[in-house]
């Protein structure tokens, strides 16, 4: 029997007609995050939010979380060994439909430019759901790799 875990989708809305750091505070950019498989690898590519600045505030809506669960959001470094070096932790409470909504102010821990590997992580404390989105401060994200066969 094939078991497929439910996705945890997080929508982060910020910025205006362009980058998140334009200072206008109007919402226009939407990013959807998905859960990770048990082995820690993404089932889908990790979405990336770029051109961030320290102090930017994300308006985060979480859907398909664990009903009634407590959890957290935090900024971390991502490496081959997993997610580590997390900072800026903030509690998250999921409602009876597995949804949560909150504002989250970003810190720039350094090393999170286009060549860095920084992520926003949202999870529940039971470990049933976890989601990531890449964070790039101060510049556009590097283009995805191009493979030619």
Using one digit for the tens of pLDDT, what is the confidence trace for 129-147?
888 888 999 999 988 888 8
Give the alpha-carbon dihedral of 52, 75, 94, 55, to 10 degrees. -40
The total number of residues written for the chain in this structure: 149
pLDDT at 139: 93
Q: How far is CA 121 from the centre of its chain?
A: 5
Residue 12 and residue 60 in contact, taking contact as beta carbons nearer than 8 Å: yes
pTM over 0.85: no
């Amino acid at each position: 029997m094939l078991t497929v875990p439910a996705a945890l989708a997080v929508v982060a809305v910020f910025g205006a007609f362009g980058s998140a750091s334009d200072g206008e505070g109007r919402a226009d950019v939407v990013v959807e995050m998905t859960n990770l498989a048990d082995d820690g690898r993404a089932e889908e590519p990790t979405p990336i939010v770029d051109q961030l600045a320290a102090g930017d505030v994300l308006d985060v809506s979480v859907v398909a979380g664990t009903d009634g669960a407590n959890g957290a959001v935090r900024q971390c470094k991502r490496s081959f060994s997993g997610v580590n070096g997390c900072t800026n932790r903030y509690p998250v409470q999921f409602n009876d439909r597995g949804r949560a909504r909150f504002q989250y102010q970003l810190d720039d821990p350094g090393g999170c430019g286009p060549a860095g590997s920084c992520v926003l992580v949202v999870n529940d404390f039971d470990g049933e759901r976890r989601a990531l989105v890449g964070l790039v401060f101060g510049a556009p994200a590097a283009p995805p790799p191009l493979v030619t066969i």
